[in-house]
Amino acid sequence: MEYEAVIGLEVHAQLLTRSKLFCGCATVFGSPPNTQVCPVCLGMPGVLPVINEKAVEYAIKMALATECRINERSVFARKNYFYPDLPKGYQISQYDEPLAEGGHIDIETADGKTKRIGITRIHIEEDAGKLLHGEGDGEASLVDFNRAGMPLIEIVSEPHISTPEEAVSYLKALRDILLYLEICDGNMQEGSLRCDANVSVRPVGSKEFGTKTEVKNMNSFKFLKDALTYEIGRQISLLESGERVVQETRLFEPSTGKTRSMRSKEEAHDYRYFPEPDLLPLVVEQEEIEAIMVMLPELPAQKKERFMKEYGLPSYDAGILTSSKRLADFYEECVRLFEEPKTISNWIMSELLRLLKEHNISIEETPIGADRFTALLKLVREGKISGKIGKEVLEEMFATGKDAQTIIEEKGLSQISDESELLTIIDKILEENPENVERYRAGKTKLIGFFVGEVMKATRGKANPQLVNKLLKERLDK
Ligand code: ADP
Ligand code: MG
Ligand code: ZN
């Protein structure tokens, strides 16, 4: 029997506000433990939460960017459970009346088609603190409350995802949107973007869903893909051997590439949700939504579309160039300086991105600005240097921080020193002057001067004379 997977993701994104969700504490990552805390986020008796307006604005931005409906009225709720990193004994979240519902994100599937992944809901909630294990004598567990009360949005997808690859595409697209909106730094290693994956399998063609498991603890795209691949395989083997999938929460272990059971449904929490009595329902007026709507930047999908139309780029180029906002900005800066959009795209994709990767730096840190990059492309277009030499010059620019012109002058590269280029010219000239070739070969070797002159004429003086001499001799003495 053939099986197919059904996947839905729950993604937590930490919002880039300066202060926490319900108090004025700072949100700087990596501060010493318990230095960004106050009675509110420590859950002291008698304190009252006050909602962070910026967090609401950011959440609305994400909801609008994914075309969710924004509920005029949403309600904060207490999600009760005991854990040492949760000082209040509950987390303030949103439950049956979330901020936004019914959106979507479009992804590209393996066969190049667009697939729409539904978004069930987006809600606002606070983060918990963090346990640090193996502290002190190596046996103590300590708790850092800096993260307690940090603002999060949770984005829950519909079970519309069918493969691990699609899950990765979806998470990448979601992350791109967050980055474009500048509401989350998207750093998965630091936990600013976290993903739980719900997955089940069913026989192909079946309408009903199978029993799902939820996999936690995946902090990279690769882990998400590996965890899902493993989990789908595990579930299929269970079914094939006549066993059942148990609904449970599982943990992905990067060291083994496997998932293992964390808790079964029987042990699942009963969170005893109830409306948070210390906060009023969140009311979002239509004018507020409209004001935020006009602040929305162009989003990745729109930008890709525009790049294809405006610059005549293929979908592939446009997809890569808009994969980061900074890269897209860099590209457009280049186009403003040099009106050959496809040439720029080629050079960015094949050369600049390769160099960035080799040096392990991002486009934000590129040592070559758009002005210098396009100056190089202009030199290539003018024929001052060949494309091949241009690539070498670019590497040199990367390594030394010098501009193209300086490197060309210093290295005498403006001359044509490209053997194959010169040989093409030389062969043409030899072909056009058969009598002189014969006379040379019959002993009139002084004719070498004539041939050198011809090559210089043809290259407008840019050929490297020593090289031309050498190549001519090789050809004529053959
Ligand atoms: P829970 O109450 O266990 O958290 P939800 O119904 O809230 O379950 O769904 C959580 C996530 O699981 C959503 O992303 C949803 O799309 C996905 N999901 C629900 N049912 C299935 C299923 N049978 N297989 C895979 N994913 C599922
Ligand atoms: Mg869940
Ligand atoms: Zn605080």
Q: How far is the CA of 302 from the centre of ligand 1 (A)?
A: 29
> Is residue 306 packed enough to be buried (19+ CB in 10 Å), middle (13-18) or exposed (0-12)?
middle
Per-residue pLDDT, averaged over 340-348, amounts to 97
Residues 6+ apart with CB under 8 A from 415: 462, 463, 464
Q: What is the pTM of this model?
A: 0.83
197-247: per-residue pLDDT in tens?
999 999 999 999 999 999 998 999 999 999 999 999 999 999 999 999 999
- pLDDT, position 263: 82
Q: How far is the CA of 265 from the centre of ligand 1 (A)?
A: 13
Ligand having the closest approach to the CA of 44: 3
One-letter amino acid of 302:
Q
User: Shortest CA distance to 258 belongs to which of 288, 230, 228?
Assistant: 230
Structural domains present in the chain: 3-291 (no CATH), 298-411 (no CATH), 419-476 (1.10.10.410)
Query: Which residues make beta-bridge pairs with 261?
Result: 250
Q: If you ran DSSP here, which 8-state letter would residue 349 be given?
A: I
Ligand having the closest approach to the CA of 41: 3
Question: Which stretches of 87-150 are assigned E, i.e. beta strand?
Answer: 90-94, 100-108, 114-126, 130-135, 140-144
- Ligand 1 pocket mutation, candidates 7, 198, 270, criterion most atoms within 8 A of CB: 198
Is the pLDDT at 100 greater than 90? The verdict is yes
Do residues 92 and 279 lie in contact, with contact meaning Cβ atoms separated by under 8 Å?
yes
- In the structure, which protein residues have their CB atom closer than 6 angstroms to any atom of ligand 1? 6-10, 156-159, 198-200, 209, 212
389-431: per-residue pLDDT in tens?
889 899 999 999 899 999 988 877 777 878 888 899 999 999 9
Is the pLDDT at 466 greater than 90? The verdict is no
b/e burial code for range 331-365 (CB count within 10 A of at least 16 → b): bbbbbebbebbebbbebbeebbbebbeeeeeebee
pLDDT-derived band at 176 (thresholds 50, 70, 90) equals: very high
Do residues 126 and 22 lie in contact, with contact meaning Cβ atoms separated by under 8 Å?
yes
What is the Cα–Cα distance from 438 to 430, expressed in whole angstroms?
Answer: 10
Q: Which protein residue has the closest C-alpha to ligand 1 atom 11?
A: 8
CB atoms within 10 A of CB 267: 9
- pLDDT, position 461: 64
**Nearest ligand 1 atom, CA 159:** 16
**Nearest ligand 1 atom, CA 160:** 16
Q: How far is the CA of 123 from the centre of ligand 2 (A)?
A: 13
Q: How far is the CA of 213 from the centre of ligand 1 (A)?
A: 9
Q: How far is the CA of 263 from the centre of ligand 2 (A)?
A: 13
Q: Dihedral of the CA atoms 383, 389, 394, 397 (nearest 10)?
A: -100
Q: How far is the CA of 178 from the centre of ligand 1 (A)?
A: 23
What is the Cα–Cα distance from 19 to 37, expressed in whole angstroms?
Answer: 11
Mean pLDDT of the chain: 93
- Ligand 1 pocket mutation, candidates 200, 212, 228, 271, criterion most atoms within 8 A of CB: 212
**Nearest ligand 1 atom, CA 9:** 14
What is the Cα–Cα distance from 430 to 46, expressed in whole angstroms?
Answer: 96
- pLDDT, position 460: 67
**Nearest ligand 1 atom, CA 157:** 14
Per-residue pLDDT, averaged over 242-262, amounts to 94
**Nearest ligand 1 atom, CA 158:** 16
